[in-house]
Chain A
Amino acid sequence: MQSDSLWIGRPVSRVEDERLIRGQGRFIADMNPVPGIRHAAILRSPHAHAVIRSIDINQALGKRGVVGIFTGEMIARELDPFPVGVSAPIQYYPIARSKVRYVGEPVAVVVAESRYLAEDALSDIIVQYDALPSSMDIETPGTHLDPSVLLHDGVLDNVANHRVFEYGQCGRELQIADVVLTHRFTYPRNTAVPIETYGVIAAYEPGTDYYTVWSNFHGPFTLHSVMAHALKISTHKLRLLSPGDIGGSYGVKSAVYPYAVLMAVVSRLSGCPVKWIEDRLEHMQASSSATARITDVTMGLNSQGKITALKLVQYDDVGAYIRAPEPATLYRTHGNLTGAYDIRNLTVENYAVMTNRVPTGLVRGYGGPQLYFPLERMVDIAARHFGIDPAEMRRRNFIRAGAFPYTTISGGIYDSGNYQAVLDQALETSEYDRFRGQKTAMSSRSIRYGIGMAAVVEPSGSNMGYVSLAFTPDERAKQWPKSGAAAAATVAVDLLGGITVLLDSVPEGQGHETVARQIVADVLTVPMEAVRVIAEMDTATRAWTVSSGSYSSRFASAGSSAIYGAAQKVRDKLLALAAIKLGADVSTLRLREGWIWHDHRKTVWSLKRLAGLIHWNPEELPEGIGAGVYESCYFTLPNVAAPSTDDRINSSAVYGFLVDIVKLAVDIETGHIQLLDYTTVHDAGKLLNPLLAQGQIHGGMAFGIGSALYEEMVYDERGQLLTGSLMDYLVPTAGEMPEHLNLGHHSTPTDSTPLGAKGLGEGNVMAAGAAIANALADALGVEVFNLPLTPQMVFHLVHPPHEKEVDPK
């Protein structure tokens, strides 16, 4: 990277802000990109599991304003099922065909003059169901479930995916370990709750069989081919567009894609462009959610408290279908399953189990909180077993600072880090020792104080190949290998030197336009105002690739690298032209403040003049300099190969690190937890924009605090969702945030990315649950195995409802 960067690394305010604060953002619901749009509403299943006996749409068809009504059978007839990422025979359509498998599953679609009228017609569609018993458990593989609770023909025990991985000698090490600890942990189903819901506008062009679909989809664009496959068309016939403004996602809007396909078909069948804006009830019930996970952890340690072996049995609740990219929650962290620790013996057994709940998918942290809640809790439990401080326990097991790049036993390549230094900084910032010393004295009749931590290796820039770990090596050998963590960007200079950048990263609030401006302005040595960034996505006109989009914190690692690369290509082209014009060696030329400098002298050639020459007078261009200044860069991060035949994979390109330390007070009478302060120290390599980094961390903390204390999608035993409104599904408000947030950075350089940056927006989501649960366990002297830590649950920890449960140590 150039050392004279003016903008990269500075806390630049965002270029996106002005339009958004003024209410001039352009979100999907604001758009009417084609004339004649009609509005869709979806009839959804009230049953978690039932056979559809009949659907009568006749009466509804006669309602005022109705353009058309389409049942699951009518729609699915036009489609192939979506490809799924497992070998189990699961037919997933965007709408139920003959059987519904979760409450809220689409059953029919009404198209009408307005959303009001479309909803009116919904109530006149008569569906007859034969209810079936629901399957809600995920810990029953191998128990030979009754056929009536099997969700899909030919899928035994509702297990969509089962794989066992052995690395090292886990079994033997557990036998000879001095201490073996075993516990079961449950991570709940929670979800992202962006304030903007899903939205799709689909327009079908009959003559050409082209589909144009606008939606707030943000990738991964692997799913473009999944959608085209379902529509039974070649990929170029499906044009996907995403608006430049998307009202948050945190992963969950990747699962808008089934609706994109649904509305595409409905547009074709109804003969008009169709707009569907999901409402909040639909979103809570039927969009997507994080997987819930039960983890059985067995940890072997030697007498010094060194972890010698780790066994994880992970049961993921993936909901009613396995929807791509699931079962990726099980595999995203595969290369970093041993976390921050030097553990050389590992066994992992993975189950993806289907239940009568909404299918799961990406939610901020994806796979991380499910892994780190049990892992980081276990480290604390082990520390308590040995009677040593949790910080010391971690220190004894951390990968040494000199050991990077470090290859984990499951194949992850940790590029850089200094875990001890980050921990030390977090301990110091949080005044850890002082609080530990005082907390007992501080406690009163009903108030107890606790402090807890979590140390998290934060993966970013995921390897496209990791999902294929769901297949056995033999199955993989029959497929094309998949790998890489690529991104694309385009930088164009017009005839008067105006600079436009086109992104493939589809941001939903992360500020990519601002960072792109910083990077391009630095490379081309122009003011940031000279650079315009277009974040709108269009698969027909953008440079993009299979892994494009925003997920797995890939912008700081992959996305920004592609922008940097494209800007360098523009710079190099202009310099090459200048070198010829000046008769100088290109290595003696520099761009400075938008002008070409030769050695230490400013020349008569500016960026604007060079671009002008290229556009206005291409006849004069020397050999080797093509017309136009429009450079795309496809960048892929290094070291992200396809899984090896022995099932090892570097599942992400780079790995940051963070330590969170939480202090809390808990009222043992009322179960109320008050977070006193929250410290987080990150190593995310070089920060491209510290202001935005801070915003990502604050947002991640709030998200993590929500999942730790408030958020859970609760279903009853019949599969009815009990938390279907924002009254019941509790998203933290400003009042629930801790007053004191301490944020620190300790950066170790990495050369895995050209700009030295790693992702950082997800780490706190991965850490918060464990850190807060550890603090609570510290306060109460009782172990914690579930989230969220609701007042009722805390109360029951202190006052067990029945006999006091004995901890099997």
Chain B
Amino acid sequence: MKPALFDYFRPQNLPEALSLLDEFGTDAKILAGGQSLIPLMNMRLAQPRIIIDINGIAEIGQIREKAEALEVGALVRQRALARYVHTDGMWELLRLGMAHIGHPQTRNQGTVGGSIAHADPSAELPLLFLTMDGEAEIASLRGNRKVPAEQFFQFVFSTVIQPHELLRAVHWKRPASKTAGFGFYEFSRRAGDFAMAAAAAIVEIDAQRRFTSIRLGLGGVGPTPVLVQGGDMLYGRTWSDNLIGSWLEDVTKGLDPPQDLAANPDFRRRLAGAAAHKSLFSAYQSANGKWEGRTHE
């Protein structure tokens, strides 16, 4: 099918875009990479009255190195970010997770900000954003505000961004420790499909290989990505399959995953547990490897 009619605005700078949003609010849809919006418009499932095409706003298309974070403008393409962080071990989790987004042909166009603002609970970028403790910079005519990822997602396809606001940039926090290990695991029906369940993990361990920090995020298991609590119970312990397994059993019991064609809630809990286990194991292994590397230096 073909899109319905709309009024089309193409602002050249941020203030122009913000005043349009201020004027039209809920009637307007922002067109960034279009990889989620255009299919919906093609099926006429979305028939926005107004399209605000932000592709002409150069100032939100940059990646900037900041002291504590990487500032990624809302218009930065997923592929561009993946390439930017490609060789830097610090951003390994981002790289691992982003490899699962759609296909290169859609990552070439899809934007980092667009995916996060779209807030599909089974998409990779929202999960990464949450797990990596990112921060959203939201602009409006009334000024900018910053929202930590943990407060950003509200429901399926819903975030704290108000109709008059625009996601200006996403700040990716640099990992505090050089020995942090990263893991990402996803179950999808086919390569490139949205996750039935996905897990992202950041693990830090001490010289005795005891957990000192665990950050675990789960995707596809609820209306928003989920940051798992209670990892601190494992601090001071070393890896054991049983230890992790029983913790994850408790964790997944507490989830309220959706029912769809691919998986019912029970099965999805199972998958989430398996994905979490696998991602934690990779993260632990990678942290371990970094310690080994350090001993050999």
Direct A–B contact present (CB less than 8 angstroms):
yes
Using a CB–CB distance below 8 Å, which chain A residues touch chain B? 115-116, 119-120, 123, 279, 281, 669-672, 710, 714, 722-723, 725, 727-728, 730, 732-733, 735-736, 790-792, 795-796, 801
A670:B189 contact, CB within 8 angstroms: no
A120:B262 contact, CB within 8 angstroms: no
Q: Which residues of A contact B271 (CB under 8 A)?
A: 670, 791
A735:B2 contact, CB within 8 angstroms: no
Q: Which residues of A contact B266 (CB under 8 A)?
A: 801
B1:A790 contact, CB within 8 angstroms: no
A120:B4 contact, CB within 8 angstroms: yes
Name the CB-closest residue of B to A116.
B2
B270:A730 contact, CB within 8 angstroms: no
A714:B263 contact, CB within 8 angstroms: no
Name the CB-closest residue of A to B187.
A670
Q: How many residues of B sit at the interface, in one of the four size bands?
A: 20 to 34
A730:B1 contact, CB within 8 angstroms: no
Binds A, one of B19-27, B132-140, B190-198, B284-292: B190-198
Q: How far is the CA of A796 from the CA of B266 in the complex (A)?
A: 10
A281:B267 contact, CB within 8 angstroms: no
A120:B5 contact, CB within 8 angstroms: yes
Name the CB-closest residue of A to B241.
A445
Q: Which residues of B contact A795 (CB under 8 A)?
A: 267, 270
A669:B190 contact, CB within 8 angstroms: no
Q: Name the distance in Å between B264's Cβ and chain A's nearest Cβ.
A: 7
Q: B130 interface residue, CB < 8 Å from A?
A: no
Q: B58 interface residue, CB < 8 Å from A?
A: no
Could you jot down 22 A-B contacts, CB within 8 Å? A115-B2, A119-B1, A120-B4, A123-B4, A279-B1, A669-B270, A669-B274, A670-B187, A714-B261, A725-B43, A727-B194, A730-B189, A733-B190, A733-B192, A735-B192, A790-B262, A791-B189, A791-B196, A792-B262, A792-B263, A792-B264, A796-B267
Q: Which of A115, A730, A796 contacts B190 (CB 8 A)?
A: A730
Q: How far is the CA of A801 from the CA of B267 in the complex (A)?
A: 10
Q: How far is the CA of A672 from the CA of B189 in the complex (A)?
A: 9
Name the CB-closest residue of A to B263.
A792
Q: How far is the CA of A790 from the CA of B4 in the complex (A)?
A: 36
Q: Which residues of B contact A725 (CB under 8 A)?
A: 43
Q: B1-44: contact bitstring with A at CB < 8 Å (1 yes, 0 no)?
A: 11111000000000000000000000000000000000000011
Sample of 15 more A-B contacts, CB < 8 Å, known A119-B2, A792-B264: A115-B2, A116-B3, A120-B4, A670-B187, A714-B261, A723-B261, A727-B193, A727-B194, A733-B190, A733-B192, A790-B189, A791-B262, A791-B263, A791-B271, A795-B267
Q: Is the interface of B mostly helix, strand, loop or mixed?
A: loop
Q: How far is the CA of A736 from the CA of B191 in the complex (A)?
A: 8
A672 and B1 in contact, given A281-B43, A790-B262, A792-B263 (Cβ under 8 angstroms): no
Q: Which residues of B contact A728 (CB under 8 A)?
A: 261
A735 and B274 in contact, given A115-B2, A728-B261, A791-B263 (Cβ under 8 angstroms): no
Q: Name the distance in Å between B228's Cβ and chain A's nearest Cβ.
A: 19
Q: Name the distance in Å between A720's Cβ and chain B's nearest Cβ.
A: 12
Q: How far is the CA of A607 from the CA of B3 in the complex (A)?
A: 58
Q: How far is the CA of A137 from the CA of B78 in the complex (A)?
A: 46
A735:B267 contact, CB within 8 angstroms: no
Q: Which residues of B contact A801 (CB under 8 A)?
A: 266
Q: Name the distance in Å between A281's Cβ and chain B's nearest Cβ.
A: 6
Q: How far is the CA of A710 from the CA of B192 in the complex (A)?
A: 15
Q: How far is the CA of A670 from the CA of B272 in the complex (A)?
A: 10
Ordered nearest first, which 10 A-B pairs have the shortest CB separation?
A735-B191, A116-B2, A792-B267, A279-B1, A670-B274, A792-B263, A730-B189, A795-B267, A669-B274, A119-B2
Name the CB-closest residue of B to A445.
B241
Q: Which of A115, A671, A710, A714 contacts B267 (CB 8 A)?
A: A671
Q: Which residues of A contact B3 (CB under 8 A)?
A: 116
Q: Which residues of A contact B264 (CB under 8 A)?
A: 792
Q: Which residues of B contact A710 (CB under 8 A)?
A: 189-190
Q: How far is the CA of A792 from the CA of B192 in the complex (A)?
A: 19
A672 and B187 in contact, given A119-B1, A119-B44 (Cβ under 8 angstroms): yes
Q: Name the distance in Å between A287's Cβ and chain B's nearest Cβ.
A: 15
Q: How far is the CA of A380 from the CA of B194 in the complex (A)?
A: 36
